[in-house]
Amino acid sequence: MVSDSSTDDSFAGAEALKGELPLTLPNHKANLGLARAFDTGLRAATADARADDFIVTMEADGTNQPAVVAAMATKVREGCEVVCASRYQEGGGYAHFPWKRRIFGAGAN
């Protein structure tokens, strides 16, 4: 998990799990934006990953559904090298997605 100067308690919650899970928790002191957070996280994950590890990315704001990770892992085990979940594909959709982000996303797309 990467904290991008988040104002919620997600980073503190992740830090509380460090004793139970092998976690690396990069923390941006200033908000650098979503792209930099993903870049930082992917660089940290690939530095620590073994060849047979899965790397999963998602936002911690509740707009991604962790329940799909098991199905995605099955696809990797079946031979897919990359699996991408998309809210724009059949079965996808918006969950807990703020209306302002929907409008911005529609304009940006």
- In the block, residue with structure tokens 């460090």: 18
Instruction: Supply the pLDDT for residue 87.
Output: 75
CB atoms within 10 A of CB 25: 14
Please write the tens of the pLDDT for every residue from 44-88.
999 989 988 888 888 776 777 788 889 999 999 999 999 988 877
Share of the chain above pLDDT 90, in %: 20
Task: Report which of 65, 72, 66 is spatially closest to residue 96, judged by C-alpha positions.
Answer: 65
Q: Taking a C-beta distance cutoff of 8 angstroms, is the pair 11, 25 a contact?
A: yes
> How far from each other are the two terminal CA atoms of the chain, in whole angstroms?
27
Instruction: Supply the pLDDT for residue 58.
Output: 82
Instruction: Supply the pLDDT for residue 78.
Output: 96
Burial of residue 63, with CB atoms counted within 10 A of its CB: 0-12 exposed, 13-18 middle, 19 or more buried: middle
Instruction: Provide the Cα torsion 64, 65, 71, 77; round to 10°.
Output: 50
pLDDT greater at residue 104 or residue 58? 58
Instruction: Provide the Cα torsion 36, 107, 82, 18; round to 10°.
Output: 40
Please write the tens of the pLDDT for every residue from 26-39.
888 888 988 899 99
